[in-house]
């Protein structure tokens, strides 16, 4: 307590300008006088007494100094002095300061923004007990992604039969709609041991317990701290309140009684999703519960390894899988596995954006490094101008470390301003980015919400980045200040800079070029990847197609569907600007998809090797509308309705099942259907559900609609938006007012599916361009400085007969040498970054040499552009004037 008080007083004393010195001195003088009096009393003369007193009591000056140190915090005082001086220096060179600040704000802000998204998505541990021992279960059909979806029966088997987990628990998100009419409630149905296993404590009341899972137990729920605050204003009367829970799969809403509030800071175990309510199994009717899929999590027993858990899971469900595979041989290939879950259960947001964000994190790191090198160069150049000042300070007795500290304090001051501006900008940037990301997740289920708090981790990261940046860009000028020898510097105020400084300047420019090449190649790669996904190999023409999603539940019977089809389609086609109209059950690159196992005539394969084919139900003119070519056979015709079962298959089906034979007229069977379909046509391959995957084997069945929902697609000659109103009117006239669910364009739909890639391309492009700009500024600065420094030399050369061409050659040689060396050094870095990017972003193929060449040539062009000004100035040197100037 006393020590804290002392420090507080001293902190206060540092900032306070005090009139106390005089009082202190007076006190000391009195002390000496009294001591002398004493000595005099003991028989010494006055003079001797004063001398003796001084000897014994020590010097006034030293005592004063020590007292002053005790009064304040000396190092803080020095720091403040350095900072004040630094601020003056920054103000004195406003242009340099402004450039450095803009660069720093951008670089630190970009790092902070990306980190605040990456951290909760990829790195942050769940705020629960020992998150490192948490694992999640997955099961995986061959050729499918792994899924954490299990039945309650599996949950019970794993929970009771394992030897490696101390807890197994599960949760199932409900698609809830609020009954009370206000905002929807995010609900998770969880097993009774959920909170116990995680080690979460209640903030109020009790949490769910294993006994809540007993048959006949009442339906109870726990609300999140956040929800308790927002909805119940933190009122304890939340206990006993009733919560309505509705799921699209449940026939009637259920009610659960709130028994508790979870502790603050716990917001569930799913990344980027924060439920409001956790309800017990009893809230869901038996029938729904047994069909629901649960995500399962387990906690490893102390000492158990994840390998042991893997081995355990392989045997744990063996018997049941063998049982299932008797009916469906596909099950033989199923793999059940466990994966670490310390950061929470991954979601679409996590899977889609993790890789691109990681790449962006690397890129902003690169930009920061580049910015530091750039500012280091700026300060170095200015350091040359300040050499005189430094030399004066050294000769006046400033220690070298004091000088270095001064330089570093200035860097830190600069970086801190950049950091503060940066973190402010980062908040805005991260929020915008998050909105973009969420618009791009199309997983079914609750909308993700990612919290981007200004928490200790983000602030700490930003401070860390700022300090690191300050040290990085302050390092070179600091070293330069450290080694600067005062005498020569004072003697020659102006003249050629020392060789070391020149080498450092060149090195910094080369480093900027090298980093910039790597950045530009990665941005090139991401832009090329986006272009590839966007325009090429789709198999359909994404432009000028209007999509109307129509609620057609009123048209259930085939006859009625056909009648409606015959009613609506001609009217849509009659709209001016519409070239072709088709209906389908599914549109390309939409959230919905369907697939069936396929068998083909004359193609024998073991049952477990059978593949699924993507399914679509289409009307005549579907292929014309989408611009997908028919390679053989014919399209469906209106007269095909009512005829025996016909299908069109895509090229992949034709190639795989009918290699070398003509598929037209042959038959295929779909899973769970006895009657075969006859193939009447072969269509070109087109992307189906996933724009990043190759076109899957696809079967198109003739249908006027497919119960529940029908998609109308209109190929237009004009902008699709121009016919949207007319098309909507036509459909509502026939089917009623709320029949149109969604109107969009095919281009928008495809774009919505590639938000991660768009994000990467846009931000990557921006970062790459910023990098190139910084490198150009660096090169320009160095060359301009060189010209200024060598004006006299150039004048002499020209006076001795050098032509302007010679001067241009000389200057360009220097510029090219720097850029080419940088490019050369940047190539391995670029190559490595490309490979890392390809590793992190799914479906992205490293582009090999092309993006690197593009990046390098872009930089060469930028370099020459930056050199233009200084070179021009060099050629304008008037020999006489230059010589006279000396």
Partner 1 sequence: MANRESKTDVLQGTLDILILQTLASLGPSHGYAIAARVEKVSNGRMQINMGTLYPGLMRLEQRRAIRGSWGTTDNNRKARFYDLTPAGRKQLELGKREWNRTVGIMQALLSEPK
Which residues lie near partner 1 (CB under 8 A)? 2-3, 5-6, 9-10, 23-24, 26-28, 30-32, 34-35, 38, 56-60, 62-63, 66-67, 69-71, 74
Residue 550, helix vs strand vs coil: strand
Of residues 275, 294, 310, the one with CA closest to residue 213: 294
Distance CA 642, CA 562 (A): 10
The nearer residue to partner 1, 23 or 725, going by C-beta atoms, is 23
The nearer residue to partner 1, 38 or 213, going by C-beta atoms, is 38
Instruction: Count how many Cα atoms sit within 13 Å of the Cα of residue 458 in the half-sphere of its side chain.
Output: 24
Of residues 347, 587, 343, 550, the one with CA closest to residue 444: 347
The nearer residue to partner 1, 59 or 495, going by C-beta atoms, is 59
Torsion of CA 517, 519, 523, 526, to 10 degrees: 110
CB of 52 to partner 1, least distance (A): 12
CB of 17 to partner 1, least distance (A): 17
The nearer residue to partner 1, 62 or 557, going by C-beta atoms, is 62
89 contacts 383 by C-beta, under 8 angstroms: no
CB of 863 to partner 1, least distance (A): 49
CB of 478 to partner 1, least distance (A): 21
CB of 189 to partner 1, least distance (A): 59
**Buried/exposed code over 808-840 (b: 16+ C-beta within 10 A; e: otherwise):** eebbbebbeebbebbbebbbebbbebbeebbeb
CB of 44 to partner 1, least distance (A): 15
Instruction: Count how many Cα atoms sit within 13 Å of the Cα of residue 193 in the half-sphere of its side chain.
Output: 13
The nearer residue to partner 1, 13 or 507, going by C-beta atoms, is 13
CB of 459 to partner 1, least distance (A): 31
Distance CA 626, CA 623 (A): 5
- Residue 233 gets the label, from left (phi > 0), alpha (psi -120 to 50) or beta, of left
CB of 482 to partner 1, least distance (A): 20
The nearer residue to partner 1, 40 or 551, going by C-beta atoms, is 40
CB of 79 to partner 1, least distance (A): 14
Distance CA 259, CA 280 (A): 11
The nearer residue to partner 1, 47 or 69, going by C-beta atoms, is 69
- Cα torsion angle, 683, 684, 685, 689, sign: negative
DSSP string, 603-666: B---GGG--EEEEEEE-TTHHHHHTPPEEEE----GGGTTSSPEEEEEHHHHHHHSTTS--TT-
Of residues 363, 341, 168, the one with CA closest to residue 268: 341
CB of 401 to partner 1, least distance (A): 12
Give the number of other Cβ atoms within 10 Å of residue 587's Cβ.
Answer: 21
CB of 115 to partner 1, least distance (A): 38
CB of 23 to partner 1, least distance (A): 8
The nearer residue to partner 1, 56 or 395, going by C-beta atoms, is 56
What token pair was written down for 785? Answer: 């400085």
- Cα torsion angle, 121, 122, 127, 129, sign: positive
Q: Which residue is associated with the tokens 């477990």?
A: 608
Burial of 665 (0-12, 13-18, 19+ CB in 10 A): exposed
Distance CA 443, CA 347 (A): 8
711 contacts 680 by C-beta, under 8 angstroms: no
CB of 18 to partner 1, least distance (A): 12
Of residues 131, 698, 75, 172, the one with CA closest to residue 405: 75
Phi, psi dihedrals of residue 788, rounded to the nearest 5°: -60, -40
The nearer residue to partner 1, 27 or 717, going by C-beta atoms, is 27
The nearer residue to partner 1, 42 or 326, going by C-beta atoms, is 42
883 contacts 792 by C-beta, under 8 angstroms: yes
The nearer residue to partner 1, 2 or 302, going by C-beta atoms, is 2
Distance CA 534, CA 754 (A): 8
Burial of 192 (0-12, 13-18, 19+ CB in 10 A): buried
The nearer residue to partner 1, 10 or 289, going by C-beta atoms, is 10
CB of 15 to partner 1, least distance (A): 15
Report residue 882 CA to chain centroid gap: 54
The nearer residue to partner 1, 59 or 234, going by C-beta atoms, is 59
The nearer residue to partner 1, 64 or 468, going by C-beta atoms, is 64
CB of 67 to partner 1, least distance (A): 5
First CA to last CA across the chain, in angstroms? 67
* Helix residue ranges, H only, 134-222: 152-161, 194-198
The nearer residue to partner 1, 69 or 693, going by C-beta atoms, is 69
């Amino acid at each position: 307590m006393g020590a804290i008080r002392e420090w507080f007083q001293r902190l206060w004393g540092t900032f306070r300008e005090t009139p106390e010195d005089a009082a202190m001195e007076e006190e000391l003088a009195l002390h000496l006088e009294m001591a002398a009096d004493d000595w005099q009393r003991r028989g010494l003369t006055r003079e001797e007494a004063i001398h003796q007193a001084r000897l014994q009591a020590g010097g006034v000056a030293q005592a004063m100094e020590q007292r002053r140190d005790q009064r304040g915090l000396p190092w803080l005082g020095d720091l403040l002095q350095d900072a004040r001086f630094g601020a003056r220096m920054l103000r004195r060179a406003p242009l340099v300061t402004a450039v450095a600040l803009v660069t720093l704000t951008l670089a630190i802000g970009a790092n902070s923004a990306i980190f605040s998204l990456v951290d909760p998505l990829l790195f942050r541990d769940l705020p629960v007990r020992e998150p490192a021992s948490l694992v999640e279960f997955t099961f995986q059909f061959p050729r499918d992604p792994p899924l954490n979806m299990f039945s309650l029966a599996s949950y019970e088997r794993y929970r009771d039969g394992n030897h490696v987990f101390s807890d197994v628990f599960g949760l199932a998100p409900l698609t809830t709609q609020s009954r009370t009419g206000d905002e929807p409630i995010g609900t998770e149905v969880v097993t009774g041991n959920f909170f116990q296993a995680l080690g979460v404590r209640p903030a109020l009341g009790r949490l769910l317990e294993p006994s809540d899972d007993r048959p006949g137990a009442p339906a109870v729920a726990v609300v999140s701290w956040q929800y308790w605050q927002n909805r119940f204003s933190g009122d304890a009367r939340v206990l006993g309140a009733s919560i309505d829970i509705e799921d699209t799969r449940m026939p009637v809403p259920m009610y659960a009684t709130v028994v508790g509030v979870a502790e603050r800071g716990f917001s569930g175990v799913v990344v980027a999703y924060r439920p409001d309510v956790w309800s017990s199994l009893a809230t869901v009717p038996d029938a729904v519960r047994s069909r629901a899929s649960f995500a399962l999590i387990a906690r490893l027993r102390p000492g158990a390894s994840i390998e042991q858990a893997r081995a355990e899971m392989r045997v744990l469900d063996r018997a049941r899988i063998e049982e299932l595979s008797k009916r469906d041989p596909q099950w033989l290939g199923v793999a059940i596995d466990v994966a670490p879950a310390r950061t929470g259960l991954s979601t679409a947001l996590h899977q889609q954006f993790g890789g691109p964000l990681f790449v962006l994190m690397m890129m902003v790191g690169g930009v920061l490094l580049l910015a530091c090198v750039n500012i280091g160069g700026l300060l170095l150049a200015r350091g040359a101008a300040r050499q005189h000042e430094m030399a004066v300070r050294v000769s006046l007795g400033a220690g070298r470390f004091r000088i270095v500290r001064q330089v570093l304090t200035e860097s830190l001051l600069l970086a801190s301003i950049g950091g503060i501006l940066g973190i402010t900008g980062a908040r805005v940037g991260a929020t915008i980015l998050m909105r973009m990301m969420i618009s791009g997740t199309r997983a079914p289920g609750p909308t993700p919400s990612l919290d981007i708090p200004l928490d200790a981790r983000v602030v700490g990261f930003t401070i860390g980045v700022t300090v690191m940046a300050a040290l990085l860009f302050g390092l070179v000028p600091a070293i330069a200040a450290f080694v600067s020898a005062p005498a020569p510097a004072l003697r020659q105020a102006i003249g050629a800079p020392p060789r070391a400084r020149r080498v450092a300047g060149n090195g910094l420019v080369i480093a900027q070029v090298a980093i910039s090449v790597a950045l530009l190649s990665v941005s090139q790669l991401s832009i090329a990847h986006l272009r590839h996904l966007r325009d090429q190999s789709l198999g359909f023409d994404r432009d000028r197609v209007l999509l109307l999603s129509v609620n057609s539940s009123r048209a259930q019977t085939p006859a009625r569907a056909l009648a409606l089809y015959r009613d609506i389609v001609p009217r849509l086609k009659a709209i001016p600007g519409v070239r072709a109209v088709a209906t389908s059950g599914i549109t390309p690159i939409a959230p919905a998809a369907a697939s069936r196992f396929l068998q083909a005539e004359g193609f024998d394969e073991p049952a477990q090797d059978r593949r699924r084919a993507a399914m679509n139900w289409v009307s005549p003119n579907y292929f014309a509308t989408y611009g997908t070519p028919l390679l053989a056979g014919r399209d469906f015709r209106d007269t095909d309705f009512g005829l025996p079962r016909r299908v069109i298959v895509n090229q992949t089906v034709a190639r795989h099942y009918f290699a070398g034979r003509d598929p037209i007229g042959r038959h295929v069977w779909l899973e769970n259907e006895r009657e075969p379909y006859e193939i009447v046509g072969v269509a070109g391959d087109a992307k189906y559900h996933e724009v990043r995957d190759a076109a899957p084997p696809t079967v198109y069945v003739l249908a006027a609609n497919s119960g529940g929902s029908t998609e109308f697609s209109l190929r237009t000659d004009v902008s699709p938006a121009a016919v949207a109103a007319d098309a909507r009117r036509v459909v509502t006239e026939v089917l009623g007012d709320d029949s149109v669910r969604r109107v969009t364009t095919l281009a928008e739909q495809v774009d919505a599916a590639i938000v991660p890639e768009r994000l990467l391309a846009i931000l990557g492009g921006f970062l790459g361009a910023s990098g190139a700009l910084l490198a150009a500024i660096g090169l320009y600065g160095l060359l301009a400085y060189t010209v200024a420094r060598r004006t006299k030399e150039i004048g002499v050369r020209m006076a001795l007969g050098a032509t302007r061409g010679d001067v241009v050659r000389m200057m360009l040689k220097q510029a090219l040498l720097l850029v080419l060396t940088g490019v050369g050094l940047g190539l391995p870095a670029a190559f490595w970054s490309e490979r890392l990017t390809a590793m992190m972003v799914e479906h992205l193929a490293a582009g090999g040499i092309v993006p690197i060449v593009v990046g390098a040539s872009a930089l060469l062009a930028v370099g020459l552009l930056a050199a233009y000004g200084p070179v021009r100035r060099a050629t304008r040197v008037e020999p006489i004037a230059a010589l006279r100037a000396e």
